[in-house]
């Protein structure tokens, strides 16, 4: 596969804003406002990502306490009820507020897997962790779009230099590559059907490729006939 790894596109841990599990409601709310974030990861004392606190979590807690306050007003307590509700909000910690477990992905997984998880779990970002669950960073939808929405020239360069020459050791004259709006056209001659199919499949998995139009020909030696045949058709990346 040619998809880039999460480690190469994520915001790393030393640039990621996270909160400890004992962080207070007010501190988290102030952080989200100041940084214009919609959510932050929560870590335990060992640095493990144990959840995420979002704007929705904060608003849900405030709504819950507001409902409790309204209930208390059925019994006249003056301003005591409001003060008590404010104290309860201020005393609420990240561990009580967070959505847990966090939706995570490993540093060695690729951007296609990240896109699939985001779609399946209906989230805009993933917490990146190592094998021990320690926070390594955060990857967002915007990070993925920067990779997947690549220009034709950049795709052409990777297909020619990294895939054809670097991975398959194919001579430049053997296969011509043309890229238009993310569609890669391969034209040329290879030795076997299997090599042609594998090349198309690998190119189809390159970041930013919409489809691969196979215009390759090859000597089909599977039956020892040496018959000239091809092409194989159109290859598309697997659904994320």
Residues 91 and 197 in one domain: no
Domain ends where: 130, 148, 166?
A: 148
Number of domain units in the chain: 2
Residues 160 and 106 in one domain: no
Q: For residue 72, what pLDDT is reported?
A: 57
Residue 172 belongs to domain with CATH number = 3.30.1340
Q: Would residue 34 count as lying in a domain? A: yes
pLDDT tens digits, the chain, 240 residues: what are they? 456 789 988 999 999 999 999 999 989 999 999 998 889 999 999 999 999 999 998 888 777 766 666 655 554 554 555 565 566 665 589 998 999 999 999 999 988 788 889 888 988 899 999 999 999 999 998 888 877 777 889 889 989 999 999 999 998 789 999 999 788 999 998 888 888 889 998 998 888 888 899 999 887 644 433 333 444 556 665 555
Q: For residue 2, what pLDDT is reported?
A: 57
Q: Can you tell me the distance from the alpha carbon of 100 to that of 196, in angstroms, rounded to the nearest whole number?
A: 46
Q: Are 37 and 31 in contact (CB under 8 A)?
A: yes
Q: Would residue 63 count as lying in a domain? A: yes
Residues 93 and 196 in one domain: no
- Other Cβ atoms within 10 Å of 103 Cβ, number: 17
Residues 45 and 162 in one domain: no
Q: Would residue 1 count as lying in a domain? A: no
Residue that the structure tokens 């990146």 belong to: 128
Q: For residue 142, what pLDDT is reported?
A: 86
Q: Sign of the CA dihedral 32, 37, 38, 44?
A: negative
Residues 128 and 160 in one domain: no
Residues 68 and 170 in one domain: no
- Phi-psi group of 14: left, alpha or beta (phi > 0 → left; psi -120 to 50 → alpha; rest → beta): alpha
Structural domain span for residue 32: 6-148
Q: Would residue 91 count as lying in a domain? A: yes
Residues 118 and 137 in one domain: yes
Residues 22 and 116 in one domain: yes
């Amino acid at each position: 596969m040619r998809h880039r790894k999460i480690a190469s596109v994520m915001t790393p841990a030393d640039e990621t804003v996270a909160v400890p599990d004992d962080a207070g409601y007010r501190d988290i709310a102030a952080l989200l406002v100041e940084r214009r974030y919609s959510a932050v990861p929560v870590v335990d004392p060992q640095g493990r990502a144990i959840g995420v606190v979002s704007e929705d979590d904060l608003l849900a807690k405030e709504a819950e306490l507001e409902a409790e306050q309204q209930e208390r007003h059925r019994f006249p307590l003056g301003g005591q009820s409001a003060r008590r509700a404010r104290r309860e909000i201020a005393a609420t910690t990240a561990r009580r507020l967070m959505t847990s477990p966090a939706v995570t992905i490993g540093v060695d997984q690729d951007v296609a897997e990240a896109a699939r998880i985001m779609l399946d779990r209906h989230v805009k970002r993933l917490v990146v962790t190592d094998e021990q669950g320690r926070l390594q960073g955060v990857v967002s939808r915007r990070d993925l779009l920067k990779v997947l929405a690549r220009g034709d020239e950049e795709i052409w360069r990777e297909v020619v230099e990294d895939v054809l020459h670097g991975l398959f050791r194919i001579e430049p004259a053997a296969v011509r590559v043309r890229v238009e709006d993310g569609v890669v056209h391969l034209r040329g001659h290879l030795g076997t059907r299997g090599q042609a199919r594998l090349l198309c499949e690998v190119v189809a998995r390159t970041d930013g490729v919409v489809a691969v139009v196979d215009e390759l020909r090859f000597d089909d030696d599977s039956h020892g006939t040496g018959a000239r045949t091809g092409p194989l058709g159109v290859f598309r990346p697997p659904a994320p």
